[in-house]
Structure 1
Amino acid sequence: MELRKVLLKDMDAFVQTNWFLQLPDQPVSLLRADSYLHNPHALPDDPVLYFLQEADRIIAYRTVFPARLTNEEKRFAWLSGNWVHPDFRRQGLSDKLLREIVIDWEQRLLFTNYAPASLQLYLKTQLFHPVYAGVGRRFYLFARTRKLFQLRYPQLKWGWAGADFLIRLAASIRLLAFKNREEKDFSFQKMRWPDDDCLQLAEKQQSESLFLRGRRELQWILRFPWISTVDGQQADRYAFSSFAEQFFYQTVKVFHHGNFVGFLMYSVRDAHLKTLHGHFEMDCTAPLARFLVQAAAVNRLEMITVLNPALAEAIFRASSPFLFSKKINHQIYASFPVSAKNLKIQDGEGDFIFS
């Protein structure tokens, strides 16, 4: 068993090797590799991919990507992507890779958007402490039981079609009875990417945020997505998100009596809307809540996920056609001193904005 690392400067060559292309379990998607290469905070000698190799196959891997806090020049790495082959689990391989990353990145790591098993591993190391804890919500409309339960309850697949029919029927009835409130003071303009007004506001308010995501960072994220809608060939070989039938980013500019006062970015992936990033010069919570409810209704979305506690609560209390909702914990952990006190946390921190 050999522990290997791929530096950023070697990533492009690595993913073009015949060995990588023939791997049954590839440790990074081509889109993610391209994103890593264009990360404005990355340096050529950064180790970004760690894996354990046995014979000609990879049995465990981890990936990271560099970032910065707004008030610190020294970089840290987001933990993003952790996989162990089923035949080699519970042997400490993931922990072995993590320990190597801790050394290389001088114990400057953060993680969020984690699987429950990963959280337990991280906490067991006693290296990480909570930086932020918020509670958002996921709202369900035309939910599909196959998506929600196929991994946890595969034995129930015989009932999915019937359950989905009942959900569609209930959601359709709710939509017939739903009438969104007409906005008098606020208006909205949708566009694919944030324009200069939005990016200038992001730069202006950057000092209010814990993590550095201004003009450069947002443009990088949007130009180098991790999800493809045209090429799904790698999906069976890569354990994390790389392909969707539908995926796009959307920016909504918010106007108050015709004056630009803020913007919200969100993504839609296979009828699942997720709020990601926003900056505002006044409180736009209530009108944005109504906008998102209307977007779900008009587009017959399956669900929307909102991690911002105030916005999630506003949607929860607003008139809506949603059938039900559940709370979603939004937590961020660090292995070095980080304080989020009085600083803004965006919904899409870490790798959440990419998936």
Structure 2
Amino acid sequence: MIRLETFCKSELVHLLNSDRFRLFPFLPITDFRAQSQCRNPKATEDDVLLILAFADHQLAGYLGILPDEIFVEGTPQKMGWFSTIYVNPQFRGQKIAQKMMDLAFNLYDGKVVLTEFTPEAERLFSKTKALQYGKSKLGKRYYFSFGIDEILPQKFSFFHKIKPFLTQANSVLDGCYALLKKKENPGLHLIEMQKEVDAESALFLQNFPSIRNADDLNWIMKNPWVVEGNQPIKAYSFSSFAKSMDFFWVKIFSADRQLKACAMLSLRDGHLKIPYLFTKQNLKDFTHFLNGFIQEHKVKFLTCYHDELNRCISENRFPKLFSKDFERRYFFHENFVNAISIKENLHFQDGDGDWVFT
């Protein structure tokens, strides 16, 4: 018999502090991810953040939900993102994942969105009659390192034995490329980089209604789901540790020191993302800044789904070795689609969902 339990903020805190949690055979959530969930400005006290499935009194699986709001024609709509879904292999075949999803659909009145899923999860979602594909986001990944010490071991097990040599060889290749390419001077002196959204930025963000506000962005930057450390948590199946993980809040000013662009950047183990970008002006200055940031911080690759920024990058000199097309697919519950006609009109920034945390 399958039994499901739900956990809102207070219940999740109680679970983490219990002996029961420490006896679970695998982790349904890390403590720092749970703390972040509980501090989410968009989560109410009654929002369910985690569903646990038990089979014969044993933990069999879990489903994590990230409460959020999206704006449709200026009106906020409460919804939830599926952030994790996992079923222990020994309990598969009992439709546990479907049972957890059905409960989540009911709890959020069908207002759920799913993205950044694994191929295995996508197969599950595509078989769920209540879910429909939404409009995909098309993006680019720009590479600034040869990456042979990472690519070759992934493709051929032999190269694991000589990875230190590959790392040295990759450093030589990257160094030669750095000498060959012209060092870019962004020519921008009015730039500030901070660790949080300040009052000046918060006022600027008011020009962008229906998008993230300062409280949302500070919550994200101060409450990461991935923290710095050398070893992942073996009992947890999702991202938890990285060798390096950092957020940056960037402010770009005009010559008369008027704030004209703000952006959140995340850099994890050399992988740069731009989860949130706020500007109503041409992105050329931001692209120049990005060029210098990539060189200064030795970024290995950048993933970006921002159409206008990708267009600006393609039209200006950018220090990439090569680029690759990417697609981010979405699933929506049919009730959500039918209620607010979001398939074509809904706009997500890169960081919407849990991608910003990982």
**Could you say whether these structures have the same fold, taking a TM-score greater than 0.5 normalized by the shorter chain as the test?**
yes
1:221 corresponds to: 220
2:288 corresponds to: 290
Q: Matched residue of 1:221: which SS?
A: helix
**Counterpart code for 2:291:** V
Superposed displacement of residue 343, structure 1: 6.0
TM-score by length of 2: 0.87
Matches within 5 A, 1:117-128: 117-128=120-131
Which one of the candidate residues 242, 249, 252 is aligned to 1:251?
249
1:44 corresponds to: 45
Matches of 1:152 and 1:20, distance apart in 2: 38
Q: Matched residue of 1:176: which SS?
A: helix
Gaps of 5+ in 1: none
Superposed displacement of residue 266, structure 1: 0.8
Matches of 1:127 and 1:316, distance apart in 2: 39
Matches of 1:166 and 1:126, distance apart in 2: 50
Q: Residues 342 and 55 (structure 1 numbering): CA distance in 2 closer, same or farther, change over 3 Å?
A: closer
**Counterpart code for 2:226:** I
Q: Matched residue of 1:193: which SS?
A: coil
Q: Is the 8 A contact 1:83 1:94 kept in 2?
A: yes
Q: Is the 8 A contact 1:226 1:241 kept in 2?
A: yes
Equivalent residues, number: 349
Matches of 2:97 and 2:157, distance apart in 1: 27
Matches of 1:205 and 1:310, distance apart in 2: 16
Superposed displacement of residue 351, structure 1: 0.4
2:78 corresponds to: 75
1:271 corresponds to: 270
Q: Is the 8 A contact 1:178 1:320 kept in 2?
A: no
Matches of 1:80 and 1:307, distance apart in 2: 19
TM-score by length of 1: 0.87
Q: CA RMSD in A?
A: 2.7
Superposed displacement of residue 81, structure 1: 0.7
**Counterpart code for 2:304:** V
Gaps of 5+ in 2: none
Q: Matched residue of 1:199: which SS?
A: helix
**Counterpart code for 1:291:** F
Q: Matched residue of 1:64: which SS?
A: strand
Matches within 5 A, 1:97-246: 97-142=100-145, 144-145=147-148, 147-148=150-151, 154=157, 156-158=159-161, 160-184=163-187, 187-207=190-210, 209=211, 213-229=212-228, 235-246=233-244
1:26 corresponds to: 27
Matches of 2:103 and 2:81, distance apart in 1: 14
Q: 1:122-171 deviations in whole A, cap 9, x for unaligned?
A: 12213233443222112222354565576665465346455444433322
Q: Is the 8 A contact 2:186 2:289 kept in 1?
A: no
Matches of 2:141 and 2:93, distance apart in 1: 32
Which one of the candidate residues 90, 96, 99 is aligned to 1:96?
99
Superposed displacement of residue 229, structure 1: 2.0
